[in-house]
Amino acid sequence: MDDEKIVELYFDRNQKAIEETEHKFGKYLYKIAFNILSDRYDSEESVNDTYMKAWNTIPPNKPTVLSVYLGRLTRSISIDVFRKKSAAKRKGSQYALSVHELGDCIADKKDIAEDLEVKALAKAISDFLRTLPEDSRRLFIGRYYFMESLKDAAKYCKMSESKAKSRLFRIRCSLKDYLVKEGYYI
């Protein structure tokens, strides 16, 4: 089914939207989640949360590229799960406990200023990526957006793993220079 039709189903509040989404994007979303979480059950849960979030956010949102929209949701949900799990693992540490307790003094850990900063940073990174050759750009996005293994990312960028590794290193250095030039403190 076309993306547009699936989005229409969401707008009609037709539950078939979830079914069609799962049918068309289930594996792709699971892969993103699994790349981040490396755990089958957590990944499945993240994908299910993605469906739920999509259901709750479309409408009002009307994604033009559904795969990107859903992928972004899965990525963000999975990263949250990962962070929560990592925090839980650190519970024994007094340092982690102190940080956690001090967190109560802040209204919301992700405040508006930080949100804006992240958005501005995202724009700077997008601009930087546009200056890169196609294969380097795809390699960077594959590795750091889709969180693919180096091997997988190198494969669809048609380069060897070692070449991909050194290319990524150079991209990271260039990104650092670019961000410094843009006024970011690193």
Partner 1 sequence: MTEEMLIDAIGLIDDELINDTYNAKKRRRNISLIRSLSLAACLALVVLGAFVFKGAIGNESVNYTQTTVGDFKYGGGLKGTFSTTFTSTSGNAAINMEVKSRNPLGFTGVTADGRKFHVRITRNTGICEYGDFTAAKERVPLPEDLPLGSKVMVCAEKFKEKSGIFSEDFVCYAETIIVFVDE
d(CA 146, CA 140): 9
Please, which residue, 91 or 130, has the CB nearer to partner 1?
A: 130
d(CA 62, CA 10): 9
Beta-strand ranges (E) seen in 29-158 are none
Question: In this chain, which of 19, 22, 24, 79 binds partner 1, going by CB under 8 A?
Answer: 79
Q: How many residues of this chain interact with partner 1, rule: CB under 8 A?
A: 36
Part in contact with partner 1 (CB under 8 A); list of ranges 1-9, 46-54, 134-142, 162-170 = 134-142
Q: Please state the closest distance from residue 137 (CB atom) to partner 1, in A.
A: 7
Q: Exposed (0-12), middle (13-18) or buried (19+): which is 42, by Cβ within 10 Å?
A: middle
Q: SS3 for 39? A: coil
Q: Please state the closest distance from residue 34 (CB atom) to partner 1, in A.
A: 15
Question: In this chain, which of 16, 24, 53, 155 binds partner 1, going by CB under 8 A?
Answer: 155
Please, which residue, 55 or 146, has the CB nearer to partner 1?
A: 146
Interaction between residue 146 and partner 1 (CB under 8 A):
yes
Which residue's entry shows tokens 């750009």?
137
Smallest CA-to-CA distance from 38 within 134, 160, 149 is with: 149
Interaction between residue 53 and partner 1 (CB under 8 A):
no
Interaction between residue 186 and partner 1 (CB under 8 A):
yes
Interaction between residue 161 and partner 1 (CB under 8 A):
no
Interaction between residue 122 and partner 1 (CB under 8 A):
yes
Part in contact with partner 1 (CB under 8 A); list of ranges 10-18, 38-46, 94-102, 139-147 = 139-147
Interaction between residue 116 and partner 1 (CB under 8 A):
no
Of the CA atoms within 13 Å of residue 43, those in its CB half-sphere come to 16
Angle at 72 between CA 91 and CA 24, to 5 degrees: 120
Interaction between residue 65 and partner 1 (CB under 8 A):
yes
Query: What b/e sequence results for 5-32 when a residue is b if at least 16 CB atoms lie within 10 Å of its CB, and e otherwise?
Result: ebbebbeeeeeebbebbbebbbeebbbb
Interaction between residue 125 and partner 1 (CB under 8 A):
yes
